[in-house]
Chains A and B, each alone.
Chain A
């Protein structure tokens, strides 16, 4: 009997799961660099949003809580808008995970990954790491755009770092949700649509672009408990941007804590669901 022995790696300190996750993340990030068109459009889209909202709707949306006696000032809306755009952008990071996994399944590479003696969460860790990491670049470009149109960081660098970290945590969280959806997709084309369709109501039912007080009363509780609202509100507070009227609900009163709790709970639900689904995922 021939049992060829091949030299194995020693178990890394970070453990095999994380090791495999980083290997797959490296692969996904190399992909990002090799298909610059995709990265380009994922940056251009939110930038267009910024310009549209700032210059088309800017004056039309009054921000309660902003000094009413002051002259109407477009820059107040722009200060209000930027954290909303940040929140929407990181939420849309999940769509990349949905499409990425659907493509991997379609191409059959998931079958190969599953036939390897790797950690079963490795592929998904790699996917979510990479998709969240990409947001660092997107947020950088967006921030520069914001600064150019009059958005400012008013509370100092430490709070700003907290704001960015919170946004990245949220991107990472929704990547798990997006991954779970992606593993159910029959093909990449369906994933393009399904990855986005739930994000529009979610982001528009929040304070991202319009103050919650401007919504119909029956929608207000939903918007107040929407984690995107708390993310955006926490970010506004940390950047020292106008917040609009803050609601009565607990998430509105404690947006930072509520956002972190939401992220932890969502990951605790969707990561195991996605891993379970991954174990059965096959091509076609």
Chain B
């Protein structure tokens, strides 16, 4: 599979602030690629460069094979962009907005009409299509914004924090739409500060901080990097803790830890849910009464914390 977005050594400074500090990216075609990082990490700057809005100070990038600095119009023909803030016209109706952007993409008028209707229906905006955007909720604006970036069926869609500020229901709705798009073959580059969002949507994730890639891989690979699964067992008394540690030792991939005061035993394991069954059998055989048992996968929050030393969603 070929890489549809390639960025090499991107540097961008704003005065003294180094927004991008030698960023490399390779996005395979037809995937959702997650750019994950805290506020100020450089996500928006990266998207602006890849969508031709900003020129890098150093480094180079191609989108669909076109250099973003030398062939901006060729790039613009194959991309759609939904920025961090809804970039639609307040005073026009939903349909008028889509018509305007369709016209500016130089699409055939008949097609614009058809496609607008299709998108308005798909994004649950058909009833509000002819109302001015001043009557739209935040979620509706976001959806229209996304519809506008899809009017020309772009091969590559850039979504900069698409669900920031959305209520949970709209968020999940938007996730569904993004999944549909990828099923249709669109490549999506998505930035987010929400770890669950990257986890939900993106096959490949790069974690960036201070304008640099600090980790890269699938969500599972990143989690493994932090450490694999952990088995947590709560037993019914202090005495049982020692017995449980002995019983679990053969199943563990590392040192088994005991927190005697909490009656808790934690064992690093691998092998997913079969380990859970084995563990319960082993504990039962050793005569340990179990009050609670759980297999805990590390979340991307754990990944982030271990990589950067600070949590992902804190304001910097």
Contact = CB atoms under 8 A, between A and B. Distances in A.
B63 to A, nearest CB: 11
A8 B76 CA distance: 15
A111 B45 CA distance: 13
Contact of B91 (A4, A24, A35, A108): A35
B104 A107 contact: no
Interface in A68-116: 107-109, 111-116
Interface residues of A, number: 34
B10 to A, nearest CB: 16
Interface in A1-47: 1-4, 6-9, 16, 19-20, 23-24, 26-27, 30-31, 34-35
A118 interface: yes
A3 B54 contact: no
A6 B29 contact: no
Nearest to B90: A107
Nearest to A116: B104
A282 B104 contact: no
A18 to B, nearest CB: 13
A112 B101 contact: yes
Interface string B232-275: 00000000000000000000000000000000000000000000
B83 interface: yes
Q: Chain B contact residues: over half helix, strand or loop, or mixed?
A: loop
A8 B153 contact: no
A10 to B, nearest CB: 8
A221 B108 CA distance: 55
Contact of A20 (B83, B104, B108): B104
A30 B90 contact: no
Size band of the interface chain B makes with A = 35 or more
Contact of A115 (B52, B92, B109, B153): B52
B76 A116 contact: yes
Interface in B164-212: 184-186
Nearest to B54: A282
Contact of B153 (A6, A16, A20, A111): A6
A30 B91 contact: yes
A122 interface: yes
A211 to B, nearest CB: 43
Nearest to B186: A2
Contacts of B104: 20, 23-24, 113, 116, 118, 122
Contacts of A30: 91-92, 96
A32 to B, nearest CB: 9
Contacts of B106: 8-9, 16, 19, 117-118
Contacts of B231: none
Given A107-B90, A116-B76, 8 more contacts: A7-B110, A8-B107, A108-B85, A111-B53, A112-B88, A112-B149, A115-B51, A115-B52
Closest 5 CB pairs of A and B: A2-B185, A112-B87, A7-B108, A108-B87, A117-B76
Interface of B: 29-30, 48, 51-55, 73, 76-77, 79, 81, 83-92, 96, 100-101, 103-111, 115, 132, 148-149, 152-153, 155, 184-186
29 contacts: A3-B155, A4-B153, A6-B107, A6-B108, A6-B153, A7-B108, A7-B110, A8-B107, A9-B103, A9-B107, A23-B100, A23-B103, A24-B104, A27-B92, A30-B91, A30-B96, A34-B91, A108-B84, A109-B87, A109-B88, A111-B48, A111-B53, A116-B101, A116-B104, A116-B105, A117-B73, A118-B105, A118-B106, A283-B83
